[in-house]
Amino acid sequence: MRDMGGDQVSEAVAGSAALLRTVTGRDWEGVNAGRLDWSCRRTAEHICLDLLMYAGRLAVRAPGYVPFEIVMTHGTDNAGVVDVIETTGALLTAAIRTAPREVRAFHPAPFRSANREGFAAMGVAEVLLHTHDIAEGLGIAYEPPAELCEGVLTRIFPHVRPGPDHWRTLLWATGRGELPGRAPVTEWTWSNNLVIAAERLTLQGVTPAAAADLRAGGTGGFEWIEGGPFEGTRDAAGMVMKAYEAGVHRPEWGLFVLVRTADGRAVGGMGFHGAPDEEGRAEIGYDLVEGARGQGYATEALRALAGWALARDDVKSLFATVDRANVPSQGVISRAGFTRVSGDLGQDGEQYAYELLS
């Protein structure tokens, strides 16, 4: 799996700076940036603020907003602003490269935090989209590399059905363009992955980028204990990709990888088969790498995930099936508070059904 990290931020910033330097002699103050109400100059300064803000949050592991602004020295010309874009881009690149994988810092949309990959994707998105806005305002052509656009879409736009043209899809998803067969976008936000804390684990939401890699036999970007990931996790990643490609994926109702807080190693997968149905019922499943079994990880994670789900207004019950022959899994789901319900489910009655009510 190709990482989304400092190299991608550097690539996006370099492309933006190269283009903007060709028009530094133009009037940036008197021209709006594309469809924005901001001038091209203000938009360029906003790129600087976003890059610096993301670098600051990630560097100090900020739990909330860091209250600062960025002000250009009096008399700074457009070329000077481009210098600041390059400088703040380098700061974000450095923060991403030095941040451990498990570190998260504040971002409001929508689950209140992001990891280094999320900040990289957001930084790249800010650069690509606002460079587009400036270019549109000044009447010049701009098209970033498709691979950068795909990296953004598959990390922070998991709810957006992919299209054949990654750049046009990103523009459409952010209200900047049209796509055949899709309604115009008037309100939008990106979505960093959800992380749910348990006692010894974190349940880390799997992005479409990670799911595609898991489905293809990779690690999904996680460091697994020996023998992982297990077959069920790869199957679940395939379900995530099927929903994503159909445009019906809701990231909080997908796959989570179970990561030990002690060493950052992944030990299994757990998640939902889809969003809750009309009756507020969601189906849940899980597996562990063989070397992690018998240590209470699955029970701990299931309690945490069930607690998160049942705290929501749109969930009334959780449902799971377990093979009759899988006695250890029956113990896991019972210890997590699920109750076996009457009636056999599954082919030839080979499974027990379990339910947990809100």
Per-residue CA distances from 351 to 49, 302, 318 (Å): 55, 19, 16
CA dihedral sign of residues 38, 40, 45, 51? positive
Per-residue CA distances from 14 to 3, 8, 9, 50, 99 (Å): 18, 10, 8, 16, 22
**pLDDT one-digit tens code per residue, 169-201:** 999 999 999 999 999 999 999 999 999 999 999
Residues 72 and 149 in one domain: yes
Final residue in a domain of this structure, among 173, 205, 237: 173
**pLDDT one-digit tens code per residue, 198-221:** 999 999 999 999 999 999 999 999
- Domain of residue 302, CATH code: 3.40.630.30
Residues 167 and 49 in one domain: yes
pLDDT at residue 1 greater than cutoff 90: no
Residues 26 and 155 in one domain: yes
Residues 199 and 160 in one domain: no
For residues 95 and 337, give the distance between their C-alpha atoms in angstroms, rounded to a whole number: 42
| 330-337: long-range pairs with CB below 8 Å, 24+ | 332/286, 332/298, 332/299, 332/302, 333/302, 335/299, 336/299, 336/302, 336/303, 336/306, 337/303, 337/306
Question: Average pLDDT, stretch 56-76?
Answer: 93
Judge whether 139 lies within some domain: yes
Judge whether 179 lies within some domain: no
For residues 35 and 27, give the distance between their C-alpha atoms in angstroms, rounded to a whole number: 17
Residues 72 and 167 in one domain: yes
Domain assignment of residue 122, given as a range: 6-173
- Domain of residue 31, CATH code: 1.20.120.450
For residues 245 and 17, give the distance between their C-alpha atoms in angstroms, rounded to a whole number: 33
Number of domains, the chain: 2
Judge whether 98 lies within some domain: yes
3-state secondary structure of 341: strand
The pTM of the full predicted model, rounded to 2 decimals, is 0.94
Residues 142 and 270 in one domain: no
Residues 16 and 102 in one domain: yes
Residues 199 and 169 in one domain: no
Residues 215 and 150 in one domain: no
pLDDT at residue 3 greater than cutoff 90: no
